[in-house]
A and B are shown apart, each in its own frame.
Chain A
Amino acid sequence: MAAQTSHLGKVKKGKDVIALDVIAYAFCGFIALICLVPFLMILAGSFSSETAILNNGFSILPQDFSMEAYKTVFKDPMVVVRAYATTIGLTICGTLLGLALQTMTAYVLVRQEFEWRNVFSFFFYFTTLFSGGLVPYYLLIRQTLGLTDSYLAMLLPLMFSVYNLLIMKSYIRSIPDSLIDAAKIDGCGEFRTLIQVVVPLIKPALATVGLFIALAYWNDWYNAMLYINTKEKWPLQYFLYQQINNIEGYKKMLASGVSGSVVSSVSLPTQTLKMALTIVVTGPIVLAYPFVQKYFVQGITIGAVKG
Chain B
Amino acid sequence: MTGKVKQKSGVKGFFKKVYKYRAFLLMLLPGVLYTLIFAYYPMTGIVLAFKKYTYAGGIWGSKWNGFENFKFFFQSGQAGLVTRNTVLYNIAFIVINTVTQIAVAILLTEIHNKHFRKVSQSIMFLPYFISWVIVGVMAFNIFSSDYGFMNRLITAFGGEPIAFYTTPKAWPFILMFFNLWKGVGYGSVMYLAAIMGIDTSIYEAAQIDGANVFQRIFKVTIPMIMPTTITLFLLSVGGIFKGNFDMFYNLVGNNGLLYNYTDVIDTLAFRALVTNQNFGASAAIGLFQSVLCFITVLVVNKLVGLYDRDYSLF
- Whether, in the assembled complex, A260 has its beta carbon less than 8 Å from a beta carbon of chain B, the answer is no
Complex formed: what's the CA distance from A5 to B206 in Å? 13
List of A residues within 8 angstroms of B294 by Cβ: 129-130
- Whether, in the assembled complex, B168 has its beta carbon less than 8 Å from a beta carbon of chain A, the answer is no
Query: Which of the residues A4, A21, A119, A222 comes within 8 Å of B207, measured between beta carbons?
Result: A4
**Interface 1/0s, chain A 130-163, versus B by CB < 8 A?**
1111111111100110000000000011011000
List of A residues within 8 angstroms of B293 by Cβ: 129-130
- Whether, in the assembled complex, A91 has its beta carbon less than 8 Å from a beta carbon of chain B, the answer is no
| Pair A59/B203 contact, Cβ less than 8 Å | no
Complex formed: what's the CA distance from A240 to B126 in Å? 19
| Pair B232/A304 contact, Cβ less than 8 Å | yes
Of the candidate stretches A65-73, A249-257, A261-269, A288-296, the one touching chain B is A288-296
> Do A41 and B286 form a contact, CB below 8 Å, given A27-B107, A28-B104, A57-B147?
no
A41–chain B nearest beta-carbon distance, Å: 5
> Do A20 and B110 form a contact, CB below 8 Å, given A36-B123, A105-B28, A290-B122?
yes
- Whether, in the assembled complex, B83 has its beta carbon less than 8 Å from a beta carbon of chain A, the answer is no
Could you tell me how many residues of chain A have their Cβ less than 8 Å away from some Cβ of chain B?
A: 106
| Pair B290/A101 contact, Cβ less than 8 Å | no
List of A residues within 8 angstroms of B45 by Cβ: 132-133, 135-137, 139-140
Query: Which of the residues A4, A136, A275 comes within 8 Å of B44, measured between beta carbons?
Result: A136
Complex formed: what's the CA distance from A4 to B205 in Å? 13
| Pair B134/A136 contact, Cβ less than 8 Å | no
Complex formed: what's the CA distance from A56 to B105 in Å? 38
List of A residues within 8 angstroms of B250 by Cβ: 241
> Do A54 and B269 form a contact, CB below 8 Å, given A101-B31, A194-B27, A222-B246?
no
| Pair A35/B290 contact, Cβ less than 8 Å | no
**Interface 1/0s, chain A 270-307, versus B by CB < 8 A?**
01001100100110011001100100110011011010
- Whether, in the assembled complex, B214 has its beta carbon less than 8 Å from a beta carbon of chain A, the answer is yes
A129–chain B nearest beta-carbon distance, Å: 6
| Pair A278/B137 contact, Cβ less than 8 Å | yes
Complex formed: what's the CA distance from A137 to B273 in Å? 12
| Pair A116/B2 contact, Cβ less than 8 Å | yes
Name the interface residues of B1-21: CB closer than 8 Å to any CB of A. 1-2, 5, 17, 21
Query: Which of the residues B30, B35, B110 comes within 8 Å of A127, measured between beta carbons?
Result: B35
Q: Which residue of B lies closest to A302 (CB)?
A: B193
| Pair A131/B43 contact, Cβ less than 8 Å | yes
- Whether, in the assembled complex, A53 has its beta carbon less than 8 Å from a beta carbon of chain B, the answer is yes
Of the candidate stretches B70-78, B88-96, B184-192, B256-264, the one touching chain A is B184-192
- Whether, in the assembled complex, B111 has its beta carbon less than 8 Å from a beta carbon of chain A, the answer is yes
| Pair A127/B39 contact, Cβ less than 8 Å | yes
List of A residues within 8 angstroms of B213 by Cβ: 5, 14, 16-17, 19-20
> Do A215 and B273 form a contact, CB below 8 Å, given A58-B147, A101-B34, A282-B134?
no
Complex formed: what's the CA distance from A194 to B27 in Å? 10
| Pair A42/B138 contact, Cβ less than 8 Å | yes
- Whether, in the assembled complex, B141 has its beta carbon less than 8 Å from a beta carbon of chain A, the answer is yes
B160–chain A nearest beta-carbon distance, Å: 15
Complex formed: what's the CA distance from A39 to B135 in Å? 9
- Whether, in the assembled complex, A107 has its beta carbon less than 8 Å from a beta carbon of chain B, the answer is yes
Q: Which residue of B lies closest to A17 (CB)?
A: B213
| Pair A132/B43 contact, Cβ less than 8 Å | yes
| Pair A136/B59 contact, Cβ less than 8 Å | yes
List of B residues within 8 angstroms of A102 by Cβ: 31
- Whether, in the assembled complex, B41 has its beta carbon less than 8 Å from a beta carbon of chain A, the answer is yes
List of B residues within 8 angstroms of A42 by Cβ: 134, 137-138, 141
Can you report 6 A-B residue pairs in the complex whose CB atoms are below 8 A from each other? A31-B100, A105-B31, A134-B266, A134-B273, A281-B134, A285-B129
Q: Footprint of A on B, CB under 8 Å?
A: 1-2, 5, 17, 21, 23-24, 27-28, 30-32, 34-35, 37-46, 48, 58-59, 100, 103-104, 107-112, 116-117, 119-138, 140-142, 144, 146-149, 151-152, 181, 184-186, 189-190, 193-194, 200, 203-204, 207, 212-214, 217, 228, 231-232, 245-246, 250, 253, 266, 269-270, 273-274, 279, 282-283, 285-287, 289-290, 293-294, 297-298, 313-314
Apart from A124-B31, A189-B23, list 10 A-B contacts with CB within 8 A.
Answer: A2-B110, A17-B213, A29-B120, A116-B17, A129-B298, A130-B293, A237-B131, A240-B134, A297-B189, A304-B193
